[in-house]
Amino acid sequence: MRGAGRRGRTLLWTAFTAVVFVAMFVPIAYLVAMSFNTSPYGTLPWHFTTEWYTQLFREPALARTTLHTLLMSVVIAVACAAAGTMAALGMARAGLPRPLVDALQAVNLIPVTVPWLVLGVTMLLFLLLIGSGRSVLNLYLGNLVVVLPYVTVLVFTRLQGERFEEEEAGAQLGASGLRIVLVITLPKLLPSILAGSIMAFMVSFNNFLIQYYLAPFGFNTLPMEIYGLVRSGVRPDINALSTFLVVASVALVLLLDRLVGIGSSFGTARRGS
Amino acid sequence: MRARGRWAGVGLLAPAYGLIVVLVLVPLAALLVESLTPGRVAGPASLGLLFENYLRFFRDGPSRFVLANSLTIPAVATVLCVAIGWPLAYALAKVHRRRGNALLAVLMAPFFVSYLLIIYAFMGLLQVGGPVQVALHALGLVPATTSLLYSRAAVTLALVYEYLPFMVLSIYGSLERIEDSVLEAAASLGASRLRVFAEILWPRSVPGVIAGCALVFIPATGSFVEPQILGGTRVSMLGEVINAQINQTFDLPRAATVSLVLTLAAVAGFALLALAAHATRRAVSR
């Protein structure tokens, strides 16, 4: 009796989960379906075509933009992993006074508590004020500062609770601080660093609001390109492009989950270690 | 050793915090100064007051209305994210725990696809002749020629889609931390499932809910593409106003004013949501 009730409940939860997942993928499924539809306006009825894919491949500009944006996001993710991990180590292991660490943590969260739109506008206004304005360098730096908290917070959380036993052992055996960090601490932090920089990569790749205000005129990132296409009306080759993006991101997410366990890095630290 | 450690600490902190100071803190201060300088269209009506831009903003009926939109639409979206996200996080963390992490990763996939594409998809889905509109018409819920676009519902729906994964992720973390032994003990002592929810699950997930509210509500207040594309001329949010001042009228002092108003309103709104979530924690467990 009790077992049957439990099984029924599990079934209900499964049904609920399935419904939400299906609903979440409706817009994406729609884009993919419409990329094979003859109607350029994304309306029914549905007739098969691959015309929009041929059209997409006739536009080398879009491929170039995608590559630029990918390159930018990789550079930012790597820089973010380095700077964020350094900052987290500095907060957790340099023996700074507690109130200072609390203050540093609060400052670190400012880029998350100000809406991205406001951050983009604020950086642009300031850069105009000091005579720098929009540039590729500013685009990179602006994107980087926005994603820094992702790495810093995850790594700092991992470092905060415990001082790893091996670190103590290393110190007692006379290893230098740098050696302890490189040989003992960093390998333990790797899952958190990876999870944080993956977030940083994805957010940089999609951060339209920062890119829109900091990219120099004539330099388009992929989100800016998509925004332009969406505003200019319905463009069926966006559907074809989005199919590629969907397949690539689902593959990337699953691959990374296989490699480092994204979910576990966000969930409990104990399982991730 | 201590002293050397401290210098090493400064060196470690320098790149990240240098960047935050130069690109966030100083610019925010500059934004405040900018917002206090007279706007471009000050003209003869200028009052010569320090807070003139702010006065003008709050005296203007339409501005107040758009500000209200910028808070209520994200607030509704945030509450919906909790309503859908909490049970989903529970299902992933406690019911389907073995597949939980993988499912979480899959759930994040749409968010990794540019949100502009999600907005674009909704444009197609909700338009006249789009699948959702056609389906609702077939059910006799809407007339054949009525578009579902250009409504608060359309903007809210898109925001829920964009931000739900953040909410689930954040609640999942706090639910997963609750030891099963606690839940089993409560059940074997005869606590009803409602009581387990009210006294263990919900109170202990409130920090996750609050963190989720920060990740959903604050960025949502700054959206401008959603109201522009899906809200059309009928639903406006402050993000559109700021963007127009930057890119069309080049009225930087006004843009600075509206940006600061938006930021303070976003933080205040989040504080209210957090207090509300905190209050339910006590109310429920009593």
Per-residue pLDDT tens for B58-87?
Answer: 888 888 999 999 999 999 999 999 999 999
Please indicate whether, in this complex, the C-beta atoms of B93 and A253 are within 8 angstroms of each other: no
With a cut of 50, say whether residue A270 has pLDDT above it: no
Residues 6+ positions from B211 with CB-CB distance below 8 Å: B170, B174
CA distance A38 to A50: 8
For residue A261, which phi and psi values (nearest 5 degrees)? 70, 75
Q: Which residue of B108, B119, B239 is in closest CB contact with A117?
A: B239
Please indicate whether, in this complex, the C-beta atoms of A13 and B12 are within 8 angstroms of each other: no
Please indicate whether, in this complex, the C-beta atoms of A13 and B95 are within 8 angstroms of each other: yes
- Taking the Cβ of residue B79 and every Cβ of chain A, the question of whether any pair is shorter than 8 Å is answered with no
Q: What is the pLDDT of residues A116-139, one digit of tens each?
A: 999 999 999 999 989 888 999 999
CA angle A234, A65, A80 (to 5 degrees): 120
At A2, the pLDDT band (50, 70, 90 cuts) reads low
Q: Which residue of A90, A118, A252 is in closest CB contact with B259?
A: A118
From chain B, pick out residues whose CB is under 8 angstroms from the CB of A208.
114-116, 225
From chain B, pick out residues whose CB is under 8 angstroms from the CB of A96.
6, 9
B165 to chain A, minimum CA–CA distance in Å? 10
With a cut of 90, say whether residue B182 has pLDDT above it: no
| The token pair that represents B128 in the structure block | 């006249």
Spell out a b/e string for B75-108, using b for 16 or more CB atoms within 10 Å of the CB, else e: bbbbbbbbebbbbbbbbbbbbbeeebbbbbbbbb
CA-CA-CA-CA dihedral for A227, A148, A104, B25, to nearest 10: -40
Q: Which residue of A83, A84, A246 is in closest CB contact with B113?
A: A246
From chain A, pick out residues whose CB is under 8 angstroms from the CB of B106.
21, 250, 253-254
Q: What is the mean pLDDT of residues B6-24?
A: 88
Q: Which residue of B10, B24, B176 is in closest CB contact with A110?
A: B24
Q: What is the pLDDT of residues B42-66, one digit of tens each?
A: 555 556 677 888 888 888 888 899 9
Helix B97-112 to helix B152-176 angle (10° resolution) is 140
Block residue for tokens 């463009």: A235
* Window B:11-70, CB contacts with A under 8 Å: 11-13, 15-17, 19-20, 23-28, 30-31, 34
With a cut of 60, say whether residue A91 has pLDDT above it: yes
Please indicate whether, in this complex, the C-beta atoms of B105 and A262 are within 8 angstroms of each other: yes
Please indicate whether, in this complex, the C-beta atoms of A27 and B91 are within 8 angstroms of each other: no
CA-CA-CA-CA dihedral for B190, B191, B192, B194, to nearest 10: -170
From chain A, pick out residues whose CB is under 8 angstroms from the CB of B119.
230
Please indicate whether, in this complex, the C-beta atoms of B121 and A30 are within 8 angstroms of each other: yes
B219 to chain A, minimum CA–CA distance in Å? 5
From chain A, pick out residues whose CB is under 8 angstroms from the CB of B88.
16-17, 20
Q: Which of A9, A10, A24 to mutate to test the interface with B (most CBs of B within 10 A)?
A: A24
- Taking the Cβ of residue B275 and every Cβ of chain A, the question of whether any pair is shorter than 8 Å is answered with no
Please indicate whether, in this complex, the C-beta atoms of A262 and B104 are within 8 angstroms of each other: yes
Indicate if the alpha-carbon torsion angle A61, A65, A70, A71 is positive or negative: positive
- Under a CB-based contact definition with an 8 Å cutoff, are residues B91 and B173 in contact? no
Tell me, what's the pLDDT at A268? 39
Q: Which residue of A26, A122, A261 is in closest CB contact with B259?
A: A122
Q: Can you tell me whether residue A7 is helix, strand or coil?
A: helix
At B113, the pLDDT band (50, 70, 90 cuts) reads confident
The residue type found at B109 is: A
Question: Looking at A65-79, B70-84, B244-258, which range is the least confident one?
Answer: B244-258
At B269, the pLDDT band (50, 70, 90 cuts) reads very high
Q: What is the mean pLDDT of residues A176-184?
A: 78
Question: Pick from B85, B106, B221: which is nearest to B159 by CA?
Answer: B221
A113 to chain B, minimum CA–CA distance in Å? 7
CA distance B81 to B162: 10
Q: What is the mean pLDDT of residues B117-142?
A: 83
Residues 6+ positions from B249 with CB-CB distance below 8 Å: B40
- Under a CB-based contact definition with an 8 Å cutoff, are residues B109 and B164 in contact? no
Q: Which of B24, B94, B118, B126 to mutate to test the interface with A (most CBs of A within 10 A)?
A: B24
At A161, the pLDDT band (50, 70, 90 cuts) reads low
Query: Radius of gyration over alpha carbons of chain A, in Å?
Result: 23
Q: Which residue of A20, A83, A256 is in closest CB contact with B15?
A: A83
B286 to chain A, minimum CA–CA distance in Å? 26
With a cut of 70, say whether residue A266 has pLDDT above it: no
